[in-house]
A and B are shown apart, each in its own frame.
Chain A
Amino acid sequence: MSDYLKFAREGDLYQRIDVLRDEMITEIGKLVAIPSLPTYVTEKGMNHGPEIVRCLHAALELSERLGFTVHNENDEYGWAQIGEEGPLVCLFLHLDVVPVGENWTKEPFVLTEEGDFLYGRGVLDNKAPAVSVLYALKTCRDMGVKWPCRVRVWFGTNEETGKVDVQMYIRKYGVPDYSIVPDSQFPLSYSELSNINIDIWNGFDPQETVSDLKLKRIEADQTPNGVPPHAFALISSEKKEKLKEVSEKVGSFAKKTGYDLSAQYCDEGLRIISHGHVSERWNEPWTGVNALSHLVLFLSNVSLGEKPDELIRFVAEKIGDETNGRSLGVEYHSETADLSICLRGVTYDRNGMSFNVFLLFPADYRNEYVFATVQNQTKARGFRIIMNNMGPGFIRDKNDPFLQDLYASYCEVTGNSDPIKVCGGTYAKYIPGSIPFGVIFGPEQDICHAPDEHIRISTELMVWTKIYANAFLRIADHLESYRK
Chain B
Amino acid sequence: MTALLKETIEKGLYAKIDAYEPEMIDEITKLVAIPSLATSVNAEGLTCGPEITRCLHYALELAERLGFRTHNEDDLFGWAEIGDEGPLVTMFLHMDIVPVGENWTKEPFKVTREGDFLYGRGVLDNKGPAVSILYAIKSCLDLGVRFPYRLRVYFGTTEETGMDDVQVYIKRYGAPDYSFVPDSQFPLSYSEVNTASFQLRKNYDPSKIDSPIRLVDVDYVDHPNGVAMYSGVTLECESESLADETARKAEEFALKNNFSFTVETNGRKVKISAKGRISDHWDDLWTGVPAIGELMLFLDTISVGKEPDEFIHFIADKIGMKWDGSGLGIEDKRESGTLAMGMSGIHLNEFGLSISFFTIFSAELRNEFMFNGIFRKTRPENIDVVVTSMGAGFVRDKNDPFLQTLYKSYCEVTGNSDPIKVCGGTYAKFVPNAIPFGAIFGPEQDICHTPDEHIRVETELMVWTKIYANALLRIGDNCKDW
Contact = CB atoms under 8 A, between A and B. Distances in A.
Interface of A: 41-46, 162, 164, 167, 171, 194, 201, 203, 205, 350-352, 366-369, 371-373, 375-377, 379-380, 384-392, 430
Contact of B376 (A44, A376, A386, A388): A44
B142 interface: no
Contact of A375 (B44, B351, B373, B389): B389
A167 B372 contact: yes
Given A380-B45, A391-B368, A368 B390 contact: yes
Contacts of A350: 205
Contacts of B430: 369
Given A162-B376, A390-B372, A372 B167 contact: yes
Contact of B203 (A43, A44, A351): A351
Given A45-B377, A376-B162, A385 B351 contact: no
B384 interface: yes
A332 B386 CA distance: 25
A385 B196 CA distance: 13
B184 to A, nearest CB: 19
A368 B392 contact: yes
Nearest to B364: A432
B226 to A, nearest CB: 18
Given A205-B350, A375-B388, A376-B162, 14 more contacts: A42-B380, A44-B376, A46-B376, A164-B376, A167-B369, A203-B350, A351-B203, A368-B392, A371-B390, A375-B389, A376-B46, A380-B45, A387-B371, A387-B375
Given A377-B45, A387-B386, A387-B387, A203 B366 contact: no
Contacts of B164: 376
Contacts of A392: 366, 368-369
Contacts, number: 89
5 A-B pairs closest in CB distance: A368-B392, A392-B368, A380-B45, A45-B376, A390-B368
B385 interface: yes
Interface string B188-209: 0000001000100001010000
Contacts of B44: 376, 380
Q: How large is the interface on B (under 10, 10 to 19, 20 to 34, 35 or more residues)?
A: 35 or more
Contacts of B376: 44-46, 162, 164, 167
Given A45-B376, A368-B392, A380-B45, A385 B386 contact: yes
B480 interface: no
A350 B391 CA distance: 32
17 contacts: A45-B379, A164-B376, A194-B368, A351-B351, A366-B392, A368-B194, A368-B367, A371-B390, A375-B387, A376-B44, A376-B46, A379-B45, A384-B386, A386-B387, A390-B367, A390-B372, A392-B366
A165 B205 CA distance: 34
Contacts of B386: 201, 384-387
Given A368-B367, A371-B390, A372-B389, A387 B377 contact: no
A376 B392 contact: no
A439 B421 CA distance: 45
Q: Which of A45, A205, A371, A392 has the most CB of B within 10 A?
A: A45
A372 B390 contact: yes
B19 interface: no
B470 to A, nearest CB: 33
Nearest to A368: B392
Contacts of B375: 45, 387-389
A447 B15 CA distance: 75
A350 B204 CA distance: 9
A361 to B, nearest CB: 13
B41 interface: yes
B367 to A, nearest CB: 6
A300 B147 CA distance: 56
Interface centre among B41, B203, B380, by most A CB within 10 Å? B380
A387 B389 contact: no
A203 B41 contact: no
A386 B384 contact: yes
Interface in B355-405: 366-369, 371-373, 375-377, 379-380, 384-392
B162 A45 contact: no
B41 A386 contact: no
A32 B203 CA distance: 40
